[in-house]
Structure 1
Amino acid sequence: MGVIAISGQVASGKTTVARLLADKLGYRFISIGELFRKVAAERGLTLMQLHELAERDHSIDLHVDQVSIEEAKKGKVVIEGHLAAWIVKDYADVRVYLKADMMSRAGRLARREGISINDAINEIKTREESNRRRYMAIYSININDLSIFDLVIDTSLININDTLDIVGSYVIKVLNAKGKL
């Protein structure tokens, strides 16, 4: 019945870890970022264009957040997204935050999107600044305050399998302690 929220910086590994963790636990996987990308595609916008629109139209974030909350209420789910831990905080059994240094994240994003490191750095900075402004305006959330997280991991120097081992071990221990596994 557990609910796991995985948040983190752009290109920190959160989506990959969350998907693999969901598979490991036999849980459903929900990506807030993928929901956001789906909205962008439905509107014929790029992700960056939707970020810009969402700064003016808060209904976009509120819709995606409501979908996330409904999924959390069902249980047995790993929910991933920049704000996932805050959005589903009333339902989450474990809240994990992944971070990494800028060059590690830029390298990952550049490889994933087929762009230059400089373009990746610019995209990361733009997206994170947009996120920061929106989250403060809509929710009064400071995304740099990590005090709500049970586990914070720097993925700069460890690979995805090592990150999954750490997160998975912690999550399983917590869910067992809560009688939810």
Structure 2
Amino acid sequence: MIISISGAHGSGKSTVAQMLAKKLFWPRYYIGGLRREAAKKRGLTLAEYNALGETDPTTDTEVDEYQRQLGLSSDNFIIEGRTSWYFIPHSFKVYLDVSEAE
């Protein structure tokens, strides 16, 4: 099983993903970390990588394709990201929301 977690800013995505991964003894992936790894492979900081993404769409497609391949080749993990559910359509999808008052 693959669990993808997405949701609104401040809804607790990282907290829930960390708790689930710890409870299930599964690896946890998060898009921020995947983007940092992709930047490092190019010898860039995350800020430089994000700036590059304004003109070079491969920065997004690299991470998107990594997610897609991860979903095809692995099982029993948690992935946290706003679009992970899309790139791993067979995942169990969790969406977290929080009211602005919270």
TM class by shorter-chain length?
A: 0.7 to 0.9
Give 1:60's aligned residue: 59
Structure 2 portions without partners, runs of 5+: none
Give 1:72's aligned residue: 71
Name the CA distance, whole Å, in 1 between partners of 2:48 and 2:10.
19
Q: Which amino acid aligns with 1:82?
A: R
Aligned-residue offset at 1:45: 3.8
Q: Is the 8 A contact 1:6 1:85 kept in 2?
A: yes
Runs (4+) off by over 4 Å:
none
Give 1:28's aligned residue: 27
Per residue, is there more strand in 1 or in 2? 2
Name the CA distance, whole Å, in 2 between partners of 1:55 and 1:13.
28
Per residue, is there more helix in 1 or in 2? 1
Aligned-residue offset at 1:54: 1.4
- Percent identical among aligned pairs is 36
Name the CA distance, whole Å, in 2 between partners of 1:58 and 1:82.
17
Higher relative contact order at CA 8 Å, sep ≥6: structure 1 or structure 2? 2
- Matched length: 100
Name the CA distance, whole Å, in 2 between partners of 1:63 and 1:18.
23
Report SS of the residue matched to 2:91. coil
Q: Is the 8 A contact 2:5 2:80 kept in 1?
A: yes
Report SS of the residue matched to 2:28. strand
Q: Which amino acid aligns with 1:76?
A: N
TM-score by length of 1: 0.47
Aligned-residue offset at 1:10: 4.2
